[in-house]
Structure 1
């Protein structure tokens, strides 16, 4: 998710701004935003919405196009394009249908919202509330007249008896259904009251009292913010006495009236701007749907590319393998676990096929060279015996006949011939050994012991060369032919010694060193031999050629040693690799258990 946000930060920012302007337009239409509601502001907001929406469309189009080019237009298969098109279509179609339906539903609901019956109910409810308040306020006027009439009539009874006067006022309060009755003077001082706690008395406004000083008519006092309705009236039969009556309206009635008034104002504002509200709502919906479509298509492209890139890689790899190229590998890419496992298994299968092909080629090559070696050994060995006998006869018969001063030369020539015959016999024996390479007799043997014995033996050839042998276990057991693997290790270490000696002929200022590492990984054994000799030289570019029979880099080599080594290693279910390094050579052997 974090990578998606970072990658599409511009689009997300643009979407946020566009959505904010869309909501601001909507709130302005209903007169609920900080922007003043007028034609100019609405025009600016609508144009801004349209421009931002077009820019958002363009950015999304370019991003999808770039993503398709990067992640979908890969390989020779068009399946990925087809499926991403289907996925996008199936995502787009429902979204468009839902958008149309939602806009229609909103438009229908808005029209119903302004239905005549709804308008009538809204108006009537407000009028009823106003009528209720007006009725309560008008009633206070009639109530104070009746209370004043009874009070004036009872002057003689009440004038000199305060307790009776208070009881009379309380009775009037209950009869008339008011909340407070006060008797005050022209300075608004409280004389008598129905309140038990006199501190709760709130005097009327000066202006109201002044209006009734010389007027016997009652005066209504309206204070809607306090939810009260009051009236004040001069008492004719009393000197400097005024009747002050208070009636509380229903709880929060003024708040209800205020809210109702605001609701009605909002209702008619929405009715007046219904077209603009529909447009702004449509813009908001388009913005949201556009982003959702972009996200869904992007996700579709992402998962499609993850899936089809792996499939395309497998198709291309299988095509290469079908043409005989077993060096092909399926690239390791981040994808689903199952596809990663498929790629891994496919590469493992290719490696096994390659290994089996190499072994088959090696076996066929060795068999061919073995047949050739047998024929050569037979054809060469047959004339060697008569040649040797003839040399012996010549030596016996003609030695005494040759002058004494020529005998040394004669004997030297015969010696050279004998040496060459022995060299040919040695070559023939090597041919025979190569041709008669027996199948390995497998038994459990300790490779550590095999290496140690060969190192001790070969160390005598050159004590100036340091041979380091490291192993991760004291014993490394392998089911193998002891004699054949000993021959392998002997030849490889001997080659390293000879390589170092050959380098020492030209430069003696270096530490002669052979490093041998043996690691037992349970399912396979890895052996590495590294020396700092002359290395592979000009043969490094075609390193595999040194495994061919009769291919040699030595002056007097037959080219059979490494070929025999390779044959033995392959017979033991192993692989051998010759790796050129900057200062010397590296041989790596892996035996699979």
Structure 2
């Protein structure tokens, strides 16, 4: 299983969550299976009081170790994934996972080999020390010591018994206690290489009575060694008693054919060494037997210690891998977070300065320097852009910067207002879609042009200049519609003044001549012939029409200055509608207002003239539609804080196609119209600080809206005209 955790294969395994879960479940299953199998094997050998063979023990240790190592690595992987989820670095924690795999491999392979070698060495040693050969060696050593002691005891026991037999056999010639007996005893002692000898009598009443003593230094020692218990054993079992003292072997035996005579002999020897060897051999044998009984426990304990140390080392390796990964990822995480903040527009983002002068610290310092320069450059660009926008927003001319692909790079507020596209965000859109007229002009080689554009139903005349720069053309244009209208109006005013002057002079004589002819010759001509009367009436009528036309020319050319007074707009409207109600009873006239009706500082005569002209046009539009019986004209008056509004709606034929030019002089759709009516109305409205607009009425017809600035009108003193003739015109030009 460890061999599968190579960096490439582990990367593929950790790449798929389902496969990783399958590995985790397999590792858990193998762990439980090996644990159960190990318990069964160990229990079987324990019942048989046998050690587990080293090869089998090492195999079981390895079989239990590898699945748990895999589980530790998988747990480290899960921890790495969990930590990666809290990191801003994308990648799913692959760096954490790779480091966990690498460190785990570096720790697992040596520790597994070490565990196998240590297990074999330890268990082979244990097996050697608790083997039958070792046990035979220890027991042979013990038997050798015992045989040595037994040989010494047997030898001197035999020597004592033979000496006692010799003394008994010579007792007839040399009786015990005779004068010759001490020399005989000394001879026997010397001949047998003994160092001590004594013949004594023992009775329960008198105790020990030494008869003859050879080289016994202390009779108390003799009395201690010839203990009554020992003498009883010797007498009852008819044998010699042998004992090993510290530096001597001594023997007590009974003299044959004697009830209470005993022989004591002793010889110097290294008995203490023999005793020590005997004790040492017994201790070694005892320790060996204890070791043999503890061998299985030692085997289990050692394998468990190896197992725990191996898992601990792998766990520490995984922990170190996670710590190293965190240390590596943390500065990267900070860099990614700062980069995302910069991408979102926060140029103040910085990464913490690192004390370590390593590659990561160098990268962090370089990043901070880059962001500082970027912030400075962006601030400079923002300042420049703000300056450009301030300049462009302050100019009245429209400015549009066009890219090479024909899209709008930059457009100021004046340009958007002049084009009136209804879209606030025009940057990035093709100019040909925003304004086809300007788009076609870009394709030409012209540098200046007069272009008529139409937006939201309103036609405007623009004076356009094109500057062709390296990054794309730049258009600047002004609305000269009002300027052209003023020029045409001034020209027509001059024409009207000349026409009125040239035509008005001969009209009066012509009319007077026709009237005089009618008075003088009307009675002389027969009444049945009406030709003369019709001719003179035609002359007088046509002269009247010409005089009316001349009056309109005169009114348009030079209108009288308005006299401003506070007037009731409601009364002016009522008077205007009343005159038309009387003249056109088939049409329904409606006046709507809120009591008490708006007040307006105005010239009553001029406002009445303007309303009369508008109502007259509405009536003519209804008659042109041929629906006089069902026609209707409504007028609505309203008052606001700073404005007074008049709205006139009719159910006539509606506005003409050239609706944007209906207020220009001499523009009319009627055969006998002069085209000066609405031009005069517009002039009156502008001199009263107002605006006039024409729209389609819901359900058909026309809607005329007149709006007066009551604040500007109230500033005028009663009875005074504006300070200059251009004051109202300038005011209305600024409003538009």
Normalising by structure 2, report the TM-score.
0.38
Larger relative helix fraction: 1
Q: Which has the higher contact order (CA 8 A, sep 6+)?
A: 1
Greater gyration radius: 2
Normalising by structure 1, report the TM-score.
0.46
